[in-house]
Amino acid sequence: MRELPVPDPGEPDHRSAARYLWWVARSQLRGMIAGALTGIIWMVAQALMPAVIGRAIDAGVTARDGTALALWTCGLFGLGVIQAVAGVARHRNSVLNWAGGAFLTVQVTVRKAVQLGAALPKRLAAGEVVSIGVSDVVQVGSAMDICGRGSGSVVAIIVVVVIMLTTYATAGLVTIAAVPVIAAAMALLVRPLHHRQQAQRERQAHLATRASDIVAGLRVLRGIGGEDLFAARYTAGSRDVMQAGIRVGLRRPAVRRPAVRRPAARRPAVRGGARRRPARHRPASLRRDRGDGRARGACGRGIRPGGAPWPGHRDRGGRGA
């Protein structure tokens, strides 16, 4: 079990935001690798389930082979167990990585504030320091948390593309072409969300600075009688922060909605191409034999596959078999 916080966080790389995140990730490298591996196992097990179900239908149900059906069913059950265990391990590692990144940020921030001492208010507003503990710590932790799911998603997409290319090349090519398009569209949607989040952070920092100034000069305000004026200003600033948070909340569904709809919009193209594929190249679960179709049509007319009518069947003239 990893102990948090660590005794000595080390010296951070503060040349840029990306370098700082890379330093945080290197500081807990074992946890990041464990989160990535468990995330890959978790996502790949889920990606393999449709392929196993298809093989169970082809080899077991369509071929009427009970042994093959039982084997593929056991394989599907095994994948479910692996996914459940890997999901629990992935979540545990992701939470530890989130907490580790957040604690490292708090530790280096507090250490730097102590080093600056009385010079801190001259170099940085009090609200900025508060925003680090309120907003930035959460963002850094979330960046560490996403490592497991992100790694698993990339590997799972590769596995799905390989399966589709070996099963039906056109569907695999459609998937390969769709993934960059979806990623580019999501990037265009995420950028306005980041702008709104930055605006909310700035207003929250400004409000925290104002609250600190009010507390520091409370005795003076009591003496000159300016409590109502500063209370009104703080109320207006709090209302602005609330409105900025509402705008961020309204933007989030616009980002998540296409992530659900775009795969659903791509599915008809893949299925339509699979249906137009020649029958001899289709899996058995998608193949329709003409003889079976004639037999079903004959049964619908009340005629046995051998040509004789079914017992008790009456034709249009009312005559029975």
pTM of the predicted structure, to 2 decimals? 0.69
262 or 27: which carries more pLDDT confidence? Answer: 27
- Structure token digits, residue 296: 């079903």
The span from the CA of 7 to the CA of 26, in Å, is 16
According to DSSP, the residues that pair with 320 across neighbouring strands are 314
Element (H, E) at 134: none
Question: CA end-to-end span of the chain, whole Å?
Answer: 78
According to DSSP, the residues that pair with 303 across neighbouring strands are 309
The span from the CA of 255 to the CA of 194, in Å, is 11
Element (H, E) at 28: none
CATH of the domain spanning 1-167, picked from 1.20.1560.10, 3.10.350.10, 3.60.70.12, 1.20.1250.20? 1.20.1560.10
The span from the CA of 90 to the CA of 218, in Å, is 49
Q: Is 104 exposed, middle or buried (0-12, 13-18, 19+ CB in 10 A)?
A: buried
**3-state SS class at 309:** strand
- Structure token digits, residue 118: 């009385």
pLDDT number for residue 96: 92
Q: Tokens 């990535």 identify what position?
A: 36
pLDDT 10s digits, 183-232? 787 778 788 888 888 888 888 888 887 887 777 777 666 677 667 777 88
The span from the CA of 26 to the CA of 241, in Å, is 35
Q: What is the average pLDDT across 10-34?
A: 90
pLDDT number for residue 43: 94
Report yes or no: 149 and 40 within 8 Å, Cβ to Cβ: no
Domain boundaries, the chain: 1-167, 169-272
Report which of 111, 42, 32 is spatially closest to residue 79, judged by C-alpha positions.
42
pLDDT 10s digits, 49-90? 989 998 899 888 888 888 999 999 999 999 999 999 999 999
**3-state SS class at 313:** coil
